[in-house]
Amino acid sequence: MGIDEEHLLSVLGAWLPDRRWFGGKGHRITRLRVVSRTSVCHGGEHLVLGVEIDGRSSQIYQVPVFFEGRSGAGVIAEVEGGYLHDGLARVEVVTSLLTVGGPAVLNPAGTGERPLAQWRRDPGVLGACRILDVEQSNTSVVLDDSVLVKFFRLLSPGINPDIEVHAGLAEVGCADVGELLGWVNGGWTDPASGHTVHGHLAMIQEFFPGSIDGWDLARQRVAAGEDFAAEGFDLGATTARLHRDLAGAFGVTQVDEAALRAMSRRLHARLSAAGEVVDGVHQLEPPLHVHLDRIAELPTLTVQRVHGDFHLGQALRTPDGWKILDFEGEPGGELDSRRVLDHPMRDVAGMLRSFDYAAWQGGGNSDEAVAWGDASRAAFLAGYAQAGDLDPVDHEVLLTAYVIDKAAYEAVYEQRNRPDWIDIPLTALRAIAGG
């Protein structure tokens, strides 16, 4: 590829901030450099970029690119002599990252009968490659409508939690996630230390054709004036089973009163930090802090691995029922922070907030949309209580605290990225503050 590095960085520096998976929204890119640049096929390169944010923190991104003389899928920009494309929209680039002798590893826990094994022997048999158009912090590519390859855009050294959790759930026979088929390993230079570090570039897993993610399905239902009660109940039951399997795979831990007091302090601090950014949150702080005080009064708590970033977009409605996706946790956080044990009500709160967003996006703030959201949340909670070991009603203090925490986080995000949406989280916080 004949694009010099300075021109390449200029083009990518203009393109990066608008990507859904870019973690520096609302901040300035103060330095951009190529950490590694590897040719993977004719016209295709695998780039690892070091991005300095606001002159302080550094992030590492995986950006495969493809250059050719004509425009096509995933165009980044027109450059001298042709067009630069997002390489993950091109089958040549994707297959080159999965070929025999390359970094792809077939999961030894897999069946060995999957099409991927055949493709690794003969990558040329691939007939189609398409990027899924979904809201997420990675890029998911479907190969021949049979296998999903999820490329992690924001890279971290070590074992990716999504791969770790899928492998653990396979050990306990969890049927509510797709089968883990493999992964792609990689190495890059850490900008801080200058040392080579290693981590996962991608995860390869089962794909479910004929499916729709929960976000799209929910918005369609509310826009059409159709309820979501049956699907919401089933999703609640699926979530409860998932939490039971996560506990079985990774164990549980009891936290004491001192840990609960520390947890309360963290929630208070996060709310105060949100209030410093969003005036609407600041105005509601006093009664919200009163709610958070109640966490420190709990006698004990049982924590475990949870999803960590749970919403309707992480649930796939398949012909065989709901399947849960994306166990990376909050992708902008360090790997260790994404493995922190928490209570299942953290995930329940995330899904309740997602129903609120679906109602607003599908029907605005109409009375019908508000009623749809209320009914969907009630159905989800009922399904969770019936199928699981916990009843959310018995954990109202914790659930409300997590809803506050999530909505305050959303308010900061919306003010920085989608100010027209700011009333979605603020309305929820007002309801809690006035209750």
Which tens digits make up the pLDDT trace of 283-306?
Answer: 999 999 999 999 999 988 999 999
Rounded distance, CA 367 to CA 183, Å?
A: 46
The answer to which of 105-119, 187-201, 314-328, 418-432 has the lowest mean pLDDT is 105-119
- Over 50: is that where the pLDDT of 48 sits? yes
* pLDDT confidence of residue 20: 85
* Ranges of CATH 3.90.1200.10 domains, the chain: 212-434
Angle at 378 between CA 299 and CA 292, to 5 degrees: 35
CB 317 within 8 A of CB 211: yes
| Cα separation of the two ends of the chain | 61
- The answer for residues whose C-beta is within 8 angstroms of residue 90's C-beta and 6 or more apart is 44, 66, 72, 73, 74, 129
pTM, 2 dp: 0.87
**Where does the pLDDT of residue 83 fall: very low under 50, low under 70, confident under 90, or very high at 90 and above?**
very high
The answer to which of 132-136, 157-161, 330-334, 410-414 has the lowest mean pLDDT is 330-334
Q: Higher pLDDT residue, 200 or 177?
A: 177
29: number of CA atoms within 13 Å, CB side?
Answer: 22
- Over 50: is that where the pLDDT of 110 sits? no
CB 66 within 8 A of CB 85: yes
**Where does the pLDDT of residue 95 fall: very low under 50, low under 70, confident under 90, or very high at 90 and above?**
confident
Give the CATH class of 212-434.
alpha beta
Give the rounded percent of residues in the chain with a pLDDT score beyond 90: 62
Rounded distance, CA 93 to CA 43, Å?
A: 9
Other Cβ atoms within 10 Å of 192 Cβ, number: 10
